[in-house]
Amino acid sequence: MFKKILIANRGEIACRVIKTARKMGIKTVAVYSEADKDAMHVDMADEAVCIGPAASKESYLVMDKIIAACKQTGAEAVHPGYGFLSENQEFSRTLEEQGIVFIGPKHYSVAAMGDKIASKKLAMEAKVNTIPGYNDAIGSPEQAVEIAKGIGYPVMIKASAGGGGKGLRVAFNDKEAFEGFSSCRNEARNSFGDDRVFIEKFVEEPRHIEIQVLGDAHGTVLYLNERECSIQRRHQKVIEEAPSPFIDPETRKKMGEQAVALAKAVKYQSAGTVEFVVGKDKSFYFLEMNTRLQVEHPVTELITGLDLVEQMIRVAAGEPLSIKQSDIGIHGWAMEARICAEDPYRNFLPSVGRLVRYLPPPEVPGEVRVDTGVFEGGEVSMYYDSMIAKLICHGTTRDQAIGRLREALNAFCIRGLSHNISFVSAVLAHPRFVSGKFTTAFIAEEYPTGFHNEDVVHDDPALLVAVAGAVNYLYHVRASRIVGQLPGHEYKIPGQWVVLFAEEEYPIAVRAIAGGHRVSYGDVDYDVLADWRFYDPVFRCTINGQPVTMQVERVGTRFRIHHWGVRAEVEVVSARGAELLKRMPKKAPPDLSKFLLSPMPGLLREVAVRQGQEVKAGEKLAVIEAMKMENVLKAEQDCVVEEILAKQGDSLAVDQPIVRFA
């Protein structure tokens, strides 16, 4: 067994690998860029080596620097995590030549499966079901359009070296095929240094289901059941679960056996994932093989009891697998939510900044797990992936896993930047998700115009009213204790209030009781019992004996309450105050229709128009790069460019003007 390993990655996956290595008694070496000098993985590791500037192409993607760090520290092996160099055949081969073990598959397996065109041909030879398509690299957008027409729309345009949603477009017509090919090729060149693109038939009403495989150096390959990954936005997974609510034992066995056949065909050693697209009739087709650990691996760990990182390390050290296929069972249900720095209320655009507050829910062994690589006071950078953490919950049944995940999200507090917790909470409560009857189009179909706060309706507003009433009373108790009050004129806390939110009025009465407050609304009393402090944004209480967790913060004269995906702006006032507020004029927002504003912080890659140019609706105006993704901004209507306000290469802030129209 290795004495010391280096983790060629950052963030939550680097921390995840360090935890297992520590459990196994293995020393760890972290590598970091200048932007990550204070990162959690640097602090957790036994040693750390700086490998360059913030940009990943100058640090985490530079093989020579990582190999030099291995030699400097005496690390015998490298765990690549996912992303960066994890599926780079040259990296694994070079490590091997330098006498350093790659904790992953051999370079020839990476080469065979890392190339989507070659892997599809290999899959066909191994008698694995494949999707119709054009499997050779395509040279031009015109050729892409002709091929797409030949296959029949819709088609999927994919970068051969792509992954994580980058270098992938779905086209429904010639125009989208032409533009999609160019975007895919650009993204692939920038992200992977490989601009080859291919096209295949897009299976409508699909589910994305993947099989986890595990192989050793002695010829054994096992499948560890499936993961359901159909809840995706822009082809990036949002919620994953294991097992799938759609797959029956017979289909699971067929998919597993095909995944094993493919892995054996390339002499696969390590943990890997074979991804399938599955039709409504349970027909399934090979998509790709990821020759690395997956982001969603924890759900498989929770239902099998296996530590996949430990298995990868043991296999890389030459040990045979200590389990056989018949040992692999399904124990309960696991579900993972990806917590990302993005604004669901602004079409999920990336968000960067400092984590002013960061309070993940407490971990409970076997029930609640948090995989993270950040801490309160740390910063989410524009240079890397937007993931903040992964929240994973396990239950005996799927309903119990959903319930635990929803409750844990209620207690997950992030302040200082935008995040997707409210959106994930709303998806978990959606009847279609709860039923298990969804496809990869779920988010596009259920939120066609994006996610809005009004899309989520709280199923028990009285809970919000009760908590708002209790918290407001506590603030007034504190105010009543101010010193220097005139005797006989001390502040007396009113007992009658009106709670205002969602354009509704809720008249309440509040009084103190032992351990909390009794809030009366209508003819129902809500006993809110809590030991809460003003500085704590997480409000844990019992309401009429039932445990409830919400997040409460005071913003000006209002309370902002987060619960079950609802972000309620609540005001608690007197009856007279409620009456006067109705008469207050509404302030109209400024007219910004004549400006193109940056919807996110990022790098202005291109300004596609010039001063005085007439622009038609749908034409490209600018391209912004943020968190390794290209975002094309297009004209919403016909217009004339009056002034260019930013230039190529500028770092933009949110809502910074780029173009002014006449």
Helix 89-97, helix 107-114: angle, nearest 10: 170
- DSSP letter (8 states) at residue 601: S
Enter the tokens of residue 414.
């992030």
The amino acid at residue 263 is A
Tabulate helix, strand, coil % of the chain (nearest 5).
Answer: 30, 35, 40
Q: Is 288 a catalytic residue?
A: yes
What is the side-by-side order of every strand in the sheet holding 368-372? 284-290, 270-278, 207-215, 221-233, 236-242, 333-340, 387-395, 368-372
Phi, psi for 144 (deg, rounded to 5): -60, -40
**Residues with Cβ within 8 Å of residue 622, at least 6 apart in sequence:** 596, 604, 606, 607, 608, 609, 632, 633, 658, 659
Contact 255, 247 (CB under 8 A): yes
Q: Per this entry, what is the length of the chain? A: 662
d(CA 20, CA 4): 12
In 3D space, the residue among 401, 419, 281 whose CA is nearest the CA of residue 350 turns out to be: 419
The amino acid at residue 568 is A
Enter the tokens of residue 247.
């797959």
Name the active-site residue from 76, 87, 187, 288.
Answer: 288
Q: Classify the C-alpha dihedral 219-224-230-233 as positive or negative.
A: negative
- DSSP letter (8 states) at residue 590: P
**Residues with Cβ within 8 Å of residue 485, at least 6 apart in sequence:** 491
- Whose structure tokens read 């270098």? 167
Q: For residue 159, count other CB atoms closer than 10 A to its CB.
A: 25
Q: Could you give the 3-state DSSP secondary structure of residue 520?
A: strand
Contact 123, 135 (CB under 8 A): no
Residue 28's DSSP bridge partners are 5
Residue 274's DSSP bridge partners are 211, 289
- DSSP letter (8 states) at residue 232: E
Q: Could you give the 3-state DSSP secondary structure of residue 195?
A: coil
Contact 490, 502 (CB under 8 A): no
d(CA 335, CA 325): 23
Enter the tokens of residue 348.
């999920």
Dihedral angle at the C-alpha atoms of 488, 490, 493, 495, nearest 10 degrees? 10
Give the DSSP H/E element, type plus range, for residue 283.
none
d(CA 235, CA 186): 17
Looking at the chain, the number of H-run helices and the number of E-run strands are 17, 39
Residues with a catalytic annotation lie at 288
